[in-house]
């Protein structure tokens, strides 16, 4: 009976199944280092992102089928660890991207406010007939509003895509990676 519950809970999960010829299919062909340090293949990462689906609870499983003659439990343990490390690094990178983008946005907002304050100073200190007043007003008002609106866009809109990618990477970091024997030999 407990086996049935486990099968039911796994059946409720969304599964990604990838067929491997060898463990090398997961890693970059250009990286000769051992699996503990080796970079993941860009094609592999793109493929699992393309197939990404989750259930209502946000869980999913990535299944790897591989010929039983190629299976090595030690290597599988290392690969699972490496996959989690890779996605943890991606989560960190996306978090830093979000932080940098927002900081740039706040800088734009601050500069825009300073420019608008400079325009206010010009407005209060020079007469409207003065040529310098007219030139500065023409340049400062649009520049100030541009800075404000661009900054707000960087704080509100731009981080959205990075935040979505970060969520997906967090899911892959916590995903259940299962290696299965493919006995079609």
Convert the pLDDT of each residue in 142-166 to its tens digit: 899 999 999 998 898 888 888 888 8
Q: To which residue do tokens 């493919």 refer? A: 182
Please report the pLDDT score of residue 4 as a whole number: 37
Please report the pLDDT score of residue 111 as a whole number: 94
Rounded distance, CA 45 to CA 160, Å? Answer: 21
Q: pLDDT for 32-90, tens place per residue?
A: 888 888 888 888 888 887 776 555 566 677 888 888 888 888 998 998 999 999 999 99
Rounded distance, CA 61 to CA 177, Å? Answer: 6
Residue 29: burial class (beta carbons within 10 Å; 0-12, 13-18, 19+): exposed
Q: pLDDT for 116-141, tens place per residue?
A: 998 888 888 777 777 777 788 888 88
Domain residue ranges in the chain: 2-92+174-181, 94-163
Q: Of 172, 171, 175, 169, which Cα lies nearest the Cα of 90?
A: 169
State the average pLDDT over residues 162-175.
86
Does residue 95 surpass a pLDDT of 90?
A: yes
Query: Long-range contacts for 139-144 (Cβ within 8 Å, ≥24 apart)?
Result: 140/115, 140/116, 141/116, 143/112, 143/115, 144/112, 144/113, 144/114, 144/115, 144/116, 144/118, 144/119
């Amino acid at each position: 009976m407990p086996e049935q519950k486990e099968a039911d809970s796994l059946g409720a999960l969304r599964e990604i199944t990838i067929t491997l010829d060898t463990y090398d299919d997961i890693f970059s062909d250009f990286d000769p280092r051992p699996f503990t340090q080796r970079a993941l293949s860009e094609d592999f990462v793109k493929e699992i992102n393309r197939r990404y689906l989750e259930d209502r609870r946000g869980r999913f499983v990535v299944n790897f089928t591989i010929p039983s003659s190629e299976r090595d439990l030690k290597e599988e343990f290392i690969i699972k660890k490496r996959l989690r490390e890779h996605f943890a690094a991606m989560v960190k990178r996306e978090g830093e991207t979000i932080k940098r983008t927002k900081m740039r946005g706040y800088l734009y907002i601050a500069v825009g406010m300073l420019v608008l304050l400079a325009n206010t100073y010009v407005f209060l200190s020079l007469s409207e007939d003065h040529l310098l007043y007219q030139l500065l007003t023409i340049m400062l008002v649009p520049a100030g509003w541009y800075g404000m609106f661009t900054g707000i866009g960087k704080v509100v809109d731009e981080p959205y895509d990075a935040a979505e990618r970060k969520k997906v990477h967090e899911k892959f970091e916590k995903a259940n990676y299962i290696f299965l024997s493919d006995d079609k030999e």
